Structures are given as C-alpha cells and as structure tokens.
Amino acid sequence: MSFRADVVTLFPELFPGPLGASVIGRGLGQGLWSLRTTQLRDFSTDRHRTVDDTPSGGGAGMVLKPDILARAIDAVSPQGDERVRILMSPRGTPLTQNRVRQLADGPGAVIVCGRFEGIDQRVIDGRALEEISIGDYVLAGGEVAAMVLLEAVVRLIPGVLGAAESHADESFENGVLEYPHYTRPQVWEEREIPAVLVGGDHARIERWRREQALALTRARRPDLLPKAK
C-alpha cells in the first residue's frame, strides 16, 4: 500500500509545489505515494464561504471554525481511517527524524494547514489532531510546513530515493550531523580533497567520516551527542 497524504487547506493551488519535482515528484508519478488536497471553504454553508470568526474572549486575528473544519476532516478521513491526523502548528511537538521514520512506515497522514490566528481548540481535541512544529518561528500558514513534513517522510518510502543507503548516513539518522562531502576536481581554488578520501582505504575513510561527523556535531549541535550511535 502506498503512503496516502490528504491536505486540508485554504490554498490547494500551492500543492504539489516542490513535492511535484525531482525524486519526490517522480515517486508521486510512480504511485509510491499519493497526494490529495481539500479546499476548506467547500465545507462552509454560507454564500460567502466563511471559514473563520472572531476569537472568543476578544483579541486580534480570526480563528478557523470547528464545525467547518471538522466536516472537512471527516470527509477525507472517515471512521476507520488508520492514518494519523496532523495539525501543522508552531506550538506543536518539534518534528524529528525519528517521528519522520514512524510516519513513513505508516499508511499515510491527514494534514490540516492552519491560517489566521489559529483553529478552535475543540476540533483539535475532538478529532485528535497531533500538533507538529517544524521550528521555533511562525509562518503565515501551515502549507509550507506541510510540504516540509511530507518531503521528509516521502523520501524514506522505499523506491523514492533508490538505494536504501542513500539516506543511511545523513544528518540525524545516526544521532549526529553528516560528515563533509567532496567531489572532483581534485583541486579547486587551491583547496584539495582530503587525501584520506582518495587513498582507497575504506576503513580509514569510514573512521575519518565518523570523526568529522562527531566534530561537527560537537561544534554545532552538542545536544545531539548523547543520542549518537
């Protein structure tokens, strides 16, 4: 079964965007995963297709209405759908490579893209939305965040990248940042490829790469070191 992604959004025209390009787009074309967008306004009941209202208790901005959003979620994810329901939110749990792997091993995801000030808490609770953040900053909406999540997940689906080892040594896969990469020409602007990489001793190369990965992690993300494999 391929990974099935449903995105509930006010801007379906933004998709597939970068998800339709390169290996991710090729995997989409090959049916290794699927993407469907749903226009939230289609579930409004008034002639203005209203989806939001002022926040209870006062305050700035507008809030997406729970009845409209719930109808949209129920339409794309009826009872019995085993896929996780996700809300892209700056207050959510930070997205990690471990969570990405878990999602890639599952049947897919229903992703809600918020807008305005946010969405009514009752629909988060009532539809068991898992709030996920891609970083400590705020975007205009959840669409770009949804694309980030989907690209991270889809590239792990067998067949999308090709060989499994394509992502085995990447940053966060082994708890450390990735080692530096080099390619020809041997000398560029008086900078040479490290001699160990062209010597043909694969054991030495692996040790060098591990040392470089640990050094980079120690300098840039020491918080990762306790998880290093």
DSSP string, the chain: --EEEEEEES-GGG-SGGGGSHHHHHHHHTTSEEEEEEEGGGG--STT---EEPPTT--SS-EE-HHHHHHHHHHHS-TT--SEEEEEEEEEEEP-HHHHHHHHTSSEEEEEE--TTEE-HHHHHHTTPEEEESSSS--SSSHHHHHHHHHHHHTTSTTTSSSGGGTTTSTTTSSSPPPP---SSSEETTEEPPGGGGS--HHHHHHHHHHHHHHHHHHH-GGGGGG--
**Which pLDDT value is given to residue 164?**
56
37 lies in some domain: yes
The mean pLDDT value of the chain amounts to 94
pLDDT given at position 174: 77
Last residue of a domain, one of 131, 154, 177: 154
Q: Which domain holds residue 81?
A: 3-154
What CATH number does residue 175 fall under? 1.10.1270.20
pLDDT at 168: 57
Encoding tokens for residue 116? 């305005």
Q: What is the pLDDT of residue 2?
A: 87
Count Cβ atoms below 10 Å from residue 4 Cβ, excluding itself: 17
Rounded Cα distance, 45 and 77, in Å: 20
pLDDT of residue 170: 65
Distance of CA 84 to the CA centre of its chain: 14
Question: What is the structure's pLDDT at 167?
Answer: 56
Among 154, 188, 205, identify where a domain stops: 154
Question: What tokens appear for 42 in the block?
Answer: 């289609």
In this prediction the pTM is 0.90
My answer on whether 180 and 125 are in the same domain is no
Q: Are residues 146 and 190 in the same domain?
A: no
State how far the Cα of 107 lies from the Cα of 168, in Å rounded to an integer: 22
> For residue 151, which of 10, 25, 12 has the smallest C-alpha distance?
25
d(CA 58, CA 53): 11
Answer yes or no: do 139 and 70 share one domain. Answer: yes
Q: Has residue 74 been placed in a domain?
A: yes
Same domain, 200 and 115: no
**132 shares its domain with 178:** no
Enumerate residue ranges in the chain where pLDDT < 50. 165
Question: Does residue 81 belong to any structural domain of this protein?
Answer: yes
Look at the chain and report how many structural domains it folds into: 2
The structure tokens 């000398």 sit at: 187
Can you tell me the distance from the alpha carbon of 170 to that of 179, in angstroms, rounded to the nearest whole number? 8
